[in-house]
Amino acid sequence: MKNMNMISISAITSGSTLLVVALTTTLLLSGCKNVPPMTSGIGSEQIAPGQKYSQYLQVHNAELSKKLHISDIRTRTHNDLLELNLSLTSTYEKTLKLQYQFTWFDKEGFVIEAGKSPWKPLNLHGMQTAIVPGLAPTPRVASYSLYVREIPEKFFRY
């Protein structure tokens, strides 16, 4: 009888050790922590047509700037509206899932239709250069700024 007890106790001990190890492993593997997505990107300060755009570029996300750069910005006035062509060049082999936004300013530097300019999605394939058009919403626009960032994907990682 004593022997029987000894056996059952040792079985429980090894069982619970196993349980602890299993639980720890499961927790480590499946553990969850919500990592906030990276929402910074590359962009520009206010640029008026005719100004050299390269002096106004800003990099807020060094990781993205290794994969993507603004290679050209062209502007013209068409039907009284400022039209621009933004060239984005990828130096990355894989597809970049991006979103871009233009912001428009009047001649005093005040923002026009704040918050109404939508972020537009753009898939940039490996090493591709895409030309993205933008059009001022009203003839009052005198300068613009732009911003490009990756579409944040929420991953739950340990």
Partner 1 sequence: MKNLILITGIALTLTLATGCTNKSVVRYGDATAVETTDINFGSTDLQKVAAEMTDSLLVSPVVGTLTANTRPILFVESIKNKTSEHIDTESITDSISTKLLRSGKFRFVDMDRVTAVRKQLDYQQSSGMVDPSKAMQFGKQVGAQYMLYGNLASIVKSNKDQSDVYYKFTLRLMDLQSGLVEWADETEIRKTKGKEFISW
Interface residue list for partner 1 (CB under 8 A) = 9, 12-13, 16-17, 19-20, 23, 27, 31-32, 78-79, 81, 83, 99, 101, 113, 115-121, 133-135, 137-139, 151, 153, 155, 157-158
Task: Identify which of residues 54 and 126 has a Cβ nearer to partner 1 in the complex.
Answer: 126
Classify burial at 41, counting beta carbons within 10 Å of its beta carbon; exposed 0-12, middle 13-18, buried 19 or more: buried
Task: Identify which of residues 27 and 127 has a Cβ nearer to partner 1 in the complex.
Answer: 27
Starting at the edge strand found earlier in the chain, the sheet holding 129-135 runs: 68-78, 81-90, 129-135
Q: Phi then psi for 155, rounded to 5 degrees?
A: -110, 140
Question: Please, which residues bridge with residue 90 across strands?
Answer: 68
Minimum Å distance from CB 27 to partner 1? 7
What distance in Å separates the CA atoms of residue 105 and residue 102, rounded to the nearest whole number? 10
Task: Identify which of residues 4 and 32 has a Cβ nearer to partner 1 in the complex.
Answer: 32
Minimum Å distance from CB 85 to partner 1? 12
Task: Identify which of residues 54 and 116 has a Cβ nearer to partner 1 in the complex.
Answer: 116
Minimum Å distance from CB 26 to partner 1? 10
Q: Phi then psi for 12, rounded to 5 degrees?
A: -65, -45
